[in-house]
Amino acid sequence: MCIAVFAWQAHPLFSFILLQNRDEYHNRPTKPVGWWDGCEIVGGRDEVAGGTWLACSRGGRVAFLTNVLELDTLADAKSRGDLPVLFLESKKTPKEFAEELITDAHQYNGFNLIVADVSSKSMVYVSNRPKEEPIIIQQVSPGIHVLSNAKLDSPWHKAQRLRLSFKEQLGKYGKGELPVKEMAEKLMRDTVKADESKLPRICSLDWEFNLSSIFVEVDTPLGPYGTRSTAALTIRVSGEVSFHEIYLEKETWKEKTVNYRIQRLKS
């Protein structure tokens, strides 16, 4: 499970501002943010399946995803982490990629995927849930949005809480510079959980309660599970990208930042 809040085409200095928590078992092998060998992709990487939950490219393409909370899953499903990679490696527009994905979307367990091209100011949301409904393809409008483990901008407790806090922070600094790293530390470490009455009641209440905070920490029979990475990604109108990650490595929190400029936006 993961959660992300982002501002798209809604700030005079930044085309895109994203804060995202990745929740996963602490013992799952993972590489922190960095440039991938042999390609122009930068992001964290799951060393088990080879995919990612958030990455971007030198050309100004961005992709990130969350899982959909559901009871029944496919044991032989394709890895959802491949989806951002497929988009970043393609030449298709976000809409073209989303429409092509319709054919294979049923082969994945529930996902919410955002794909964007900053240069063309195009962002699309794709989801293959609910199962009984057609694949969702939605152009993302300028503004503030939250992606958790249901549809984009679903009114879950932690999604609403994060959206409000993020909006307040943006309002506090107005049209000026943003202390994005400090915002990530403050907003994404929130451990306040939902009241039982506000849980979605999809699976066990105990599990939903443990997942109901923005920052997740829970012991399971398979080992510690929870937030093990917080990303702060900004793309300026000028094309400058800053990808900062606070990540857990062998139970120690570390930090890393990658800065670069989008090639097609160079003056």
DSSP 165-181: HHHHHHHHHTTS---HH
- Which tens digits make up the pLDDT trace of 109-143? 999 999 999 999 999 999 999 988 999 999 999 99
pLDDT of residue 95: 98
The pLDDT tens digits along the chain (267 residues) read 799 999 999 999 999 999 999 999 999 999 999 999 989 999 999 999 999 999 999 999 999 999 999 988 999 999 999 999 999 999 999 999 999 999 999 999 999 999 999 999 999 999 999 988 999 999 999 999 999 999 999 999 999 999 999 999 999 999 999 999 999 999 999 999 999 999 999 999 999 999 999 999 999 999 999 999 999 999 999 999 999 999 999 999 999 999 999 986 544
Q: Report pLDDT for 263.
A: 81
Q: Is 84 helix (H, G, I), strand (E, B) or coil?
A: helix
CB crowding 56-94: b at 16 or more within 10 Å, else e: bbbebbbbbbbbbbeeeeeeeebebbebbbbbbeeebeb
Distances (CA, A) of 1 to 56, 110, 167, 190, 228: 20, 11, 23, 15, 11
pLDDT, position 1: 72
Helices assigned H by DSSP within the chain: 82-89, 94-101, 157-173, 180-187, 205-211
Parent domain of 216:
2-265
Residue-wise pLDDT tens digits, 30-60: 999 999 998 999 999 999 999 999 999 999 9
> How many structural domains compose the chain?
1
Instruction: Give every CB contact of residue 207 below 8 A, 6+ residues apart in sequence.
Output: none
Q: How far apart are CA 187 and CA 185, in angstroms?
A: 6
CB contact burial 101-134 (16+ within 10 A = b; e otherwise): beeebeebbbbbbbbbbbeeebbbbbbbbeeeee
CATH number at residue 22: 3.60.60.10
CA distance 141 to 261: 24
State the pLDDT at residue 32. 97
* pTM attached to this predicted model: 0.96
Residue 133 neighbours by CB under 8 Å, 6+ apart: none
